Structure 1
Amino acid sequence: MLPERLTHRPLADADIPAVCGFPRTPEELYFLFPRAVWPLTPDQVRAALPQRRDPTVATLGGRVVGYGNFATFEEGRTASLGNLSVDPDLRRHGIAAYLVGVMIERAFVHHDLPELTLYCFNTNTPALLLYAKLGLVPMALETRVTPWGDSIGLLKLRMDRDTWRGRAVLAA
């Protein structure tokens, strides 16, 4: 685990270059931001922000180590978590779990939404295992074609507010 405590805050413009360094390959970029073009640039991130809600960074000792937002948002109905990414040097240390937890709480407590969804490609096994552990369940599967021509499955996962509350009670 990490030696310091994770914190979070809204994305600042000065954070964007760090976020651009999170994807190491075109494939990783496709998984976290399918409409982006390799390599991820600050201009691409800035251009997407007007269509996003609650862009949030996770920080460790003042360093930006994770990023996420709501890719879609319907007031009073639902939001979809998007662009979730973690510094490649710090993966598998709980940062993604922390950030997803922050965004889930933001959806259910701050925005009082009844549900949260997210999309994840079938080949992103670590993410799928994390989402299952956090209580998100698959509800649909779509076929997509990657920029390099492979067919891939895109899973839609969901959690409702009541399930989240029940899990929070059990964890307490």
Structure 2
Amino acid sequence: MSSATSHTALSNRPLADADIPAICGFPRNAEELYFLFPRAVWPLTPDQVRATLGVRRDPTVVTLTVDGRERVVGYANYATFEDGFTASIGNVSVDPTLRRRGIAEYLVRTMIDRAFGRHHLPELTLYCFNTNTPALLLYAKLGMVPVALETRVTPWGEPIALFKLRVGRADWNADSSIAA
């Protein structure tokens, strides 16, 4: 993400309509789209993203600034939100050219920090398919533990396991969090 001559920085902010085309480029194929936006149809379009905004909360982008130029590199929201009780992080996605560089961790930490710090929720959940090993390892690193397992069928007809993971506010290490 950086070189000796450029300065880079990650930050987060609310989704702007102008960010949506970049997000549509995150899934590389129909299978990946299913894992990032399970109800979407390939290819992901701006209208499909916009349609989720009415039922999702806190749509958030991560931006990477290199030499003063901002680029949208990650996206997430709360797929469900029960004020005072719980929320579920959804649509966690990262620019495919920048994966495995800490962006997803920054993004998920941002969403966890916001749930506990700003919204004062006692717990936060998310769902992750069993085939997404890097994500499952990241979520475990962040203290999320599996609490349920559901069987789903992919659009191409194969059974797949969907883990529900949870972290409680009391279990979240505020010292390891970032400003949201």
What is the TM-score when the length of structure 1 is the normalising length?
Answer: 0.96
2:74 is the alignment partner of 1:66: yes
2:61 is the alignment partner of 1:57: yes
Query: Partner of 2:36 in structure 1?
Result: 32
2:178 is the alignment partner of 1:168: no
Within-5 A mapping of 1:9-20:
9-20=13-24
Query: Partner of 1:76 in structure 2?
Result: 84
Among 100, 110, 114, the residue aligned to 1:92: 100
Among 4, 7, 11, the residue aligned to 1:7: 11
Which structure 2 residue ranges, 5 or more long, are not aligned? 3-7
Q: Secondary structure at 1:72's aligned position in 2?
A: strand
Among 81, 104, 107, the residue aligned to 2:115: 107
- How far 1:168 moved relative to its partner? 2.8
Amino acid at match of 1:109: G
Query: Partner of 2:5 in structure 1?
Result: none
Amino acid at match of 1:8: N
Amino acid at match of 1:68: A
Provide the rounded CA distance (Å) in 2 between the counterparts of 1:36 and 1:28: 11
Amino acid at match of 1:94: G
Within-5 A mapping of 1:36-51:
36-51=40-55
Query: Partner of 2:162 in structure 1?
Result: 154
Deviations 1:63-113 (A, max 9, x none): 000000000000000000000000000000000000000000000000000
Provide the rounded CA distance (Å) in 1 between the counterparts of 2:19 and 2:130: 29
Amino acid at match of 2:88: S
Which structure 1 residue ranges, 5 or more long, are not aligned? none
- How far 1:52 moved relative to its partner? 0.4
Amino acid at match of 2:13: R
Provide closer, same or farther for how the CA distance between residues 92 and 114 of structure 1 changes in structure 2, counting only shifts above 3 A.
same
2:26 is the alignment partner of 1:22: yes
Q: Secondary structure at 1:127's aligned position in 2?
A: helix
What is the TM-score when the length of structure 2 is the normalising length?
Answer: 0.91
Q: Identity over the aligned pairs, expressed in percent?
A: 74
Amino acid at match of 2:54: P
Provide the rounded CA distance (Å) in 1 between the counterparts of 2:75 and 2:148: 25
Provide the rounded CA distance (Å) in 2 between the counterparts of 1:44 and 1:127: 24
2:123 is the alignment partner of 1:119: no
Q: Secondary structure at 2:33's aligned position in 1?
A: helix
Amino acid at match of 1:122: N
**How many residues align structurally?**
168
Provide the rounded CA distance (Å) in 2 between the counterparts of 1:93 and 1:5: 12
